[in-house]
Structure 1
């Protein structure tokens, strides 16, 4: 049998984490290095590998229920090779160290079980409760696989040059950065946007580190509905953040 399909062979490598291609992650398990992956993202595996639902402790479950931020994970362990993918999104492997990583849970595909994650509140000048209000702080040492819709852009942030990103396009950033969420306005009123430009909320990053954005914008936060009435439509519900609270662990 002949077909161009036979050009897409398994990539042979000794690396623990590697990319089979831009849209598929390959993880080799050696029996002592469990991997946590998003539920339902295993597309194939070889060897003696088991998949178990990852238990969420009381604090994580409580944070998930009240913020909507969190991870539905499965634990992959055993000896063999596992392939992960999700909706043909682009996959990127990152090494997490002391610098830490803040990320929207929607973009996490898999991570080493040695990494720790917790829900944090992002600073908001206006008390915005839409997308970007709560994120995950990833700490420890290990690898994490992130997903993007298309090829991303990594922007360096320095004390001399801060970066502004659309709140619907931001994927992740260095935990040590100072973050402020603000409306794209030319006046102090958050209800007044810049005509019909279509731009809504943005995140402003200051300090030293990086910000990762994808070439795709989701719908909220400008139409986020939390509570009721006009305030909720503009993301100013009771669950909005308060000034000077960036980096706070949700509790």
Structure 2
């Protein structure tokens, strides 16, 4: 059905009043946070809220000098905001598909541009990809999260998870790589013969190589990252 009465439209698209989980997917591309306390989210991702919620941009030295220096070096868009209070918060990122993970003591790396929100209490740190920083638009960095709690990340279209085993390394385009398990440490390799086939988003023949045991998440889209506007 492509047209609705006003009543039909409201009934079809209204929020789910029964949502009670901390993170609820209202749609595949819209995350509802049932807030009673504090949550970290990507700066600029808030599209609506109700209740008594206060927002603060991440302080320059809030997480220590080390993380500040890393963020200053990266110059990219993992700027965070914190929302605290009680109410419903709705966040999204350019209509990208949202995936919610419940970490149970595990760790995961997420591309800094694709991290949408995470529960307070998770331990996190910024991982700079120095070897590839000069080869890609704006460089490349990732955030490692570990502990007990929920984390939401985004992807263009449906993500694909590839399993990595010792006998089967996985190669990916950095611009299409969304996340990977915390047990993996990627290497960066180049192959000039693949320049016209691999890494079109970066304009270079750079690939990420994952070896060991774990998984890597890719998206069917090569995302060119923009530098953070201060």
- With normalisation by structure 2, the TM-score equals 0.81
Are residues 1:203 and 2:208 paired?
yes
Q: Which residue of 1 aligns with 2:3?
A: none
* 1:122 CA drift (Å): 4.1
Superposed, 1:1-251 pairs within 5 Å as 1-11=6-16, 12-30=18-36, 32=37, 34-57=38-61, 58-69=65-76, 71-122=78-129, 124=131, 129-131=134-136, 133-183=140-190, 185=191, 192-194=192-194, 196-197=196-197, 199=199, 200-219=205-224
* 1:123 CA drift (Å): 7.9
Name which one, 1 or 2, has greater alpha-carbon Rg. 1
* 1:128 CA drift (Å): 6.3
Backbone CA RMSD of aligned residues: 2.3
- SS at structure 2 position matched to 1:217: coil
In 2, Cα distance between equivalents of 1:137 and 1:196: 31
In 1, Cα distance between equivalents of 2:15 and 2:133: 46
Moved more, 137-146 or 14-23: 137-146
In 2, Cα distance between equivalents of 1:16 and 1:45: 14
In 1, Cα distance between equivalents of 2:206 and 2:15: 43
Q: Deviations over 1:147-186 (max 9, x none)?
A: 1111110111122322111111001101211311111x2x
Seen in structure 2, the aligned counterparts of structure 1 residues 163 and 123 have a Cα distance that, compared at 3 Å, is farther
In 1, Cα distance between equivalents of 2:208 and 2:141: 13
**Whose strand proportion is higher, 1 or 2?**
2
* 1:219 CA drift (Å): 4.4
In 1, Cα distance between equivalents of 2:56 and 2:195: 50
- With normalisation by structure 1, the TM-score equals 0.75
* 1:195 CA drift (Å): 6.7
Please tell me whether the aligned partners of residues 69 and 135 of structure 1 are also in contact (alpha carbons under 8 angstroms). Answer: no
Q: Which runs of 5+ in 2 are unaligned?
A: 1-5, 200-204, 226-230
